Chain A
């Protein structure tokens, strides 16, 4: 026993190390779920809004906290995030922590300022700031957005954003872009952040997915809408893309982030109607960039897979190969046309591209110096871009042919 005495003693002593410092009681912490950033009234000041979730709500402990709000929203005016984090402690009893921070909301006004670059650049220096936090730009000041965002289903704010992010993977209306991606694209490449608003101004004339946040024709529901994206360049917001353009720019990437999306096309058999199809990911999108010639040439082949799960014109596609070909052709031309327009818009309005084609272009250069001298952003403005879609129809839903309702109509 004597032999093992001191090692065992040492091991017991190790247990006491936990009490030395960094002891954090779960009860004493305040978990920030959302941060909102706005421009302050004075020069070089920002207003930081913390949405702190109340862990007692919606748990077994909720009986003890019946009259407590699910979250506490505080706005602090300070020069940067770190000092705001300290100042919030003047009114908050618990110690604030970012360890569960998932969402950063930036007011459009601040995002368009040069100041934002400094704010976000200095925020990432704080080791507590996690690079996987998602960035969203809100049309109104972020604090108004956070105050307005009271979803009916999700009382706890972090859940709301988590589920919304899961949705985006399927709809592609909003790019999932975290701070890590933001800092990847600071050299002039375009970065897409989600675009959201609580100010609704529905427009009823548009087609399906060409809306920007606030324009979706809906009434009722949760107060907040997220669709489209804010285009950021060198840490500054320079424009917006609507839902359709956002989807396309996700689709045109080599690494397609869009799992499936539902979109509509004019029905090739019946001009009066549009047909809704589920567009799924085909095999890998092929991107070829030729930088040897001037202007550079970009070739993109996007394979997509269609599922015809709705058919408002009730036209029968299953019987004839020709009809299917007509549909394929329609989808192909429409998609190519839309992406052509998008690329033209981007070449005209911005310097750079949001499709991550620069990564493919980098392949053609031997050294980083060569690539920097080439100035991809400037070259892309005049590049020849050819996008082609390869369409295959995978399924026609659970009916062999549309219900024969329309035929009867004709008979009568």
Chain B
């Protein structure tokens, strides 16, 4: 059955986009931040974050169902033009700066682990101005389909990777079970919930899905699967490198791909993983770029927002070049995440509250 393209996406594409946005975080500097706080119990952090966000997501779904619009329109509708614009501005700043800093972080991974002699600018341009812009420019449908094409491969290679290192893992290394203590773990989970806050941000795409049910199914799966993957990989990192050594490792995923072996012959598997990872990164940034442009377009009332993609991509490369070294970028990123956690957690609740307060009596 060939369906005429209507610019909308189905649940599978949407799930693939969410997976591309969130699951790829296991490969960047995120696990290091989590391991620093969670120690041996780091694997609980993403699950706690996901539980917290799940609550928030339920509120979001309730509003989306009621209004049957994208999140941006709902914000304008409920919070009014002035205040709504402020919220959208804040969302844009968070999404856009997170993309810029992430772009820098990913380029640093490439330079540190694989291509030590390449200039940083080249990698950033190739990744964001090249690959991500290319995909994003083709529209949401293209992003969704590309994601759908590669996400099953990512899932398969993740499993392969774990099998490849399985005999080097020691399950007992995840003890002591509570890591730094239960309170710390719960606090950490709350702090890092912004890592999965994409699930709230993608509310802006809600009107681009064919049905509301599709959105609901895909977003629930899209929250839990990446969170579970993150938990699994954090546990694997600890089992592989052991606490406290795991805290010193900059990019555990890429060390893991180096250590993976298939038989005794193929022990330089990282090239395969690098290629796939780079494709994943391109989709990740394409989605972010697209959402940034969408938000900015609404913010300045500029309808043909795809024209904003190119300037935004260029700007994000420039911003990404600003931090002197990856550690500085990571510090900024952590700060950004912790400050925006609250916003994304409370936004749906806030909107729901206004809805109740203002219009609750009418319906």
Contacts and interface: CB of A to CB of B under 8 A. Distances in A.
Interface of A: 7, 10, 14, 17, 20-22, 99, 127-128, 130-132, 162, 166, 180, 183-187, 254-255, 356, 359-360, 362-363, 365-371
A363 B172 CA distance: 7
Main secondary structure of the interface of A (DSSP, over half): loop
A359 B268 contact: no
Contact of A362 (B134, B172, B264): B172
Interface in B246-261: 248, 255, 258-259
A127 B116 contact: yes
B176 A368 contact: yes
A369 B134 contact: no
10 contacts: A10-B134, A21-B122, A131-B258, A132-B267, A186-B245, A359-B170, A363-B175, A366-B181, A367-B179, A368-B243
A250 to B, nearest CB: 14
A21 B117 contact: yes
A99 B268 contact: yes
Contacts of B268: 99
A255 B118 contact: no
A367 B176 contact: yes
Interface in B112-152: 112-113, 115-119, 122, 126, 130, 134
A363 B258 CA distance: 29
Contacts of A166: 264
A186 B176 CA distance: 18
- For the complex of A and B, the 3 pairs showing the least CB-CB separation, nearest first, are A359-B172, A184-B242, A362-B175
A131 B255 contact: yes
B70 interface: no
A394 B168 CA distance: 28
Given A180-B240, A363-B172, A363-B177, 5 more contacts: A131-B259, A366-B176, A366-B181, A367-B176, A370-B176
Contacts of A184: 241-242, 245
A184 B170 CA distance: 11
A180 B169 CA distance: 11
B122 to A, nearest CB: 6
A10, A20, A368, most chain B CB atoms within 10 A: A368
Contacts of B240: 180
A132 B170 contact: no
B112 to A, nearest CB: 5
Interface string B171-189: 0110111111100000000
Contacts of A20: 118, 122
B24 to A, nearest CB: 21
Given A131-B259, A366-B177, A183 B241 contact: yes
B80 interface: no
Contacts of B292: none
Contacts of B39: 368
B176 A371 contact: yes
A365 B244 contact: no
A131 B257 CA distance: 11
Nearest to A132: B259
Nearest to A363: B175
B40 interface: yes
B172 A187 contact: no
A21 B176 contact: no
A11 B316 CA distance: 23
Contacts of A180: 168, 240-241, 259
A360 B255 CA distance: 26
A132 B176 contact: no
Contacts of A359: 170, 172-173, 175
Nearest to B251: A127
A130 B261 CA distance: 13
